[in-house]
A and B are shown apart, each in its own frame.
Chain A
């Protein structure tokens, strides 16, 4: 019999507080996900993961640790999983997507910090998330000021390595990122006690590329006129991809993609004909942040694409797997990751190009540019994004929100009006 309570106790978790989160999850998941009709059968796997989200995968990670593997917790799509896997380590995404964790974060961080950072710090310090307890080492990066200062606080509580991200994309910046990846590899080798060889790194590159290709297949199905899957179902897949075993993630995504492709051939849709197609751009939505997708998809529209870190930025572009030396491989990894267009870069014209391309590929009727409150980078870049979309005749609605429920009604009103305006 599964008994996760004992596991959580061993992890030093605050069981009483954690229980409050466990109590509300079934209702929120039911309202958001189980209210949908005709979902693909392949979603059973991800529903199962959520149903025991703090049990099944944490237990797997603990078993792996018993066999000597190390778990690395990450917070950004710029941290290369390939390096960790090449040293027989395991990566688990640690971004917090629940308001439940925010108050614990606010005990040590200014309130004017974005909810994602506050929730991530709160999940660790409040001892209410097993993934944050299990990770042997956290890997931070310098994407924004809030995170940089948060690492200093988290670093007092858990071993921490920080990758210094470039802020521009010149040749010397790509070379610097390759060096930073090489330094990270040395840290991972020392921490795991395992040497990274070109063969092992190449296997890891191929593994993560396969995962990216599988996620891309799922996304490809959303380009169909008749949508075989809802946006919030795909969001769930992306969110879970950050902490699932990468080979299993690829396997499950490919099996789902088979089903979606069959649905397209059969003309099966989960939305009625004429439903407006929305693309979301902006800040990431870490699990269990389903608020905006749910409001959009219960307001007469469908989300067909996410230009976010929990969307296309996570899987687009592959690492060149033809390199044979570690230096060349680190360079190839750097080139792939530097192709991600995050708002922390200046200039960041590549992101606007991505958004316009994706709007065309996914045949979107309108864009909702979402910004997590207090994320200065995406908020500021929203001006440029909206300007470009309007110049290309694509309707856009800018939204600033957080993890609370308090603005849900207002968001619903604004989104319903936006969808109605799309005709």
Chain B
């Protein structure tokens, strides 16, 4: 079963914005991963990449964005979608 925790996805207009922010997170030691944006939240955005954050790091991430005036489109919370024993491949 997927756990009940929330995951946060930061969405972008372009992947260059996304990689720039990920680089800032790395420098600030904020744990984050590049992830394909789930379709349910990607909407009409052309960029398919997002940054995935666990709930406990969201405030630090927002502060980092604010500090660097980093470009992003939106931050969306979703119940954790990740289930390594689902065995559904593509």
CB within 8 Å of B: which residues of A?
A: 1-5, 21-32, 34-35, 39, 41, 44, 47-48, 50-53, 55-56, 98-100, 288-291, 294-295, 298, 403, 405, 408-409, 412
Contact = CB atoms under 8 A, between A and B. Distances in A.
A404 to B, nearest CB: 8
Contact of B15 (A30, A56, A289): A56
User: By DSSP majority rule, is chain A's interface helix, strand, loop, or mixed?
Assistant: helix
Contact of B36 (A26, A98, A405): A26
Given A2-B47, A22-B39, A48 B34 contact: yes
Given A2-B47, A4-B46, A27-B81, A47 B89 contact: no
Contacts, number: 111
B84 interface: yes
Interface of B: 13-15, 18-19, 22, 26, 33-39, 46-50, 52, 81-90
17 contacts: A2-B13, A22-B39, A29-B36, A31-B86, A31-B88, A44-B26, A44-B33, A47-B34, A47-B35, A48-B34, A51-B15, A51-B37, A51-B48, A51-B49, A52-B47, A288-B89, A294-B89
Q: Is the interface of B mostly helix, strand, loop or mixed?
A: loop
A23 B37 CA distance: 10
Scoring B15, B33, B46, B90 by chain A CB atoms within 10 A of each residue's CB, the highest score goes to B90
A39, A48, A98, A295 pick with most chain B CB within 10 angstroms: A48
B29 to A, nearest CB: 11
Closest 5 CB pairs of A and B: A51-B49, A47-B34, A408-B87, A35-B84, A26-B36
Given A52-B49, A55-B46, 20 more contacts: A4-B48, A24-B88, A25-B90, A26-B36, A26-B37, A26-B81, A27-B38, A27-B81, A28-B89, A30-B36, A34-B35, A47-B35, A48-B18, A52-B36, A52-B48, A53-B48, A99-B90, A100-B90, A294-B89, A408-B87
Contacts of A24: 88, 90
A32 B36 CA distance: 12
Contact of A3 (B19, B36, B46, B89): B46
B89 A403 contact: yes
B52 to A, nearest CB: 6
Contact of B39 (A3, A4, A26, A39): A26
